[in-house]
Every structure is written in structure tokens, then in C-alpha cells.
Amino acid sequence: MSMEKVLGWNPDILVIDFGTPAELYDSPKWKSINAVKNKTVYKQPIGVFIWDRPTAESAVLHPLWLAKMAYPDRFADVDLRQEIKRFYGEIMSFNLTDEQAEAILAAKYTLSIMGQDSKKAGK
């Protein structure tokens, strides 16, 4: 979506699928947006696929992640790392470690559950 639309909407929360929140926080172009002012810019999680695509991950995990980002107090009892581990274990037969689940949340994981190194995949 265009910069003009984002500026017009002035969202309180912004979800990005490339770049980093820090890049937006440091950019003068974005400084007037509430999400940047309040440091509520979030990088889209990535597991097997990025979570904003029509996949099993996006159907189950993405709404939970969005709810936790938008309403952290209401969803304080939700442990996203455990939910990710449970989902991948039950649905995809991948037994993830805590570190791997954290890498998914940090959008640094991509295909590492398929055997690639998560540090390399996050580049």
C-alpha cells in the first residue's frame, strides 16, 4: 500500500512484512505516524510461509498474533511461543525448540524448520 494511504490512516499499529521496525522509527518520512511515535510497528512472523498469506499458519496463528500485538493486556495469558510449538507439532509434525519458535516470531526463521540454519534464513 502507498505511503500516502498509511499517512492518511495514521494507524496506531503497523504490521510490516519487509524491513525492520527500527528502520521506520529512524526514518523522517514515517515520524508523523502514531504507530511509529508509539513504537508499535511489528514485523510479520515467518514460518514455512509469511503469515499474511492464505496458509494453515495464517488461519490459526496470525489472528492470535495480531490480537496479542493489538491488545497485549487482554491476551497476556497467551504464550505465542507455546502456541507456535503446539501448532507445528500437531499440524506439521515439526517439533520446534523454544529458539525456533522465537525465530518465527522475530521473522528470522523462514525455511529453517526444513533444515536450514535459522540465523542464515533471517538474513
Domain that holds residue 20: 1-43
Asked if 21 and 80 sit in the same domain, the reply is no
pLDDT of residue 94: 87
Q: How confident is the model at residue 110 (pLDDT cuts 50, 70, 90)?
A: low
* Across 80-85, average pLDDT: 95
Residue 84 shares a structural domain with residue 37: no
pTM, two decimal places: 0.77
Residues 111 and 58 in one domain: yes
Q: Residue 14 belongs to what H/E stretch? A: strand 14-16
Same domain (yes/no): 16, 55: no
Sign of CA dihedral 74, 19, 5, 47: negative
Domain count, the chain: 2
Contact assessment for residue 57 and residue 64, using Cβ atoms and an 8 Å cutoff: no
Q: How far apart are CA 83 and CA 52, in angstroms?
A: 17
Same domain, 63 and 94: yes
What are 25-67's pLDDT values in tens digits?
A: 999 999 999 999 999 999 988 887 777 777 888 888 999 999 9
**By the 8 A CB rule, do 51 and 25 touch?**
no
Q: How far apart are CA 2 and CA 73, in angstroms?
A: 31
Q: Read off the pLDDT of each residue in 107-122 and give the average, rounded to a whole number.
A: 51
Are residues 40 and 63 in contact, defined by beta-carbon separation less than 8 angstroms?
Answer: no
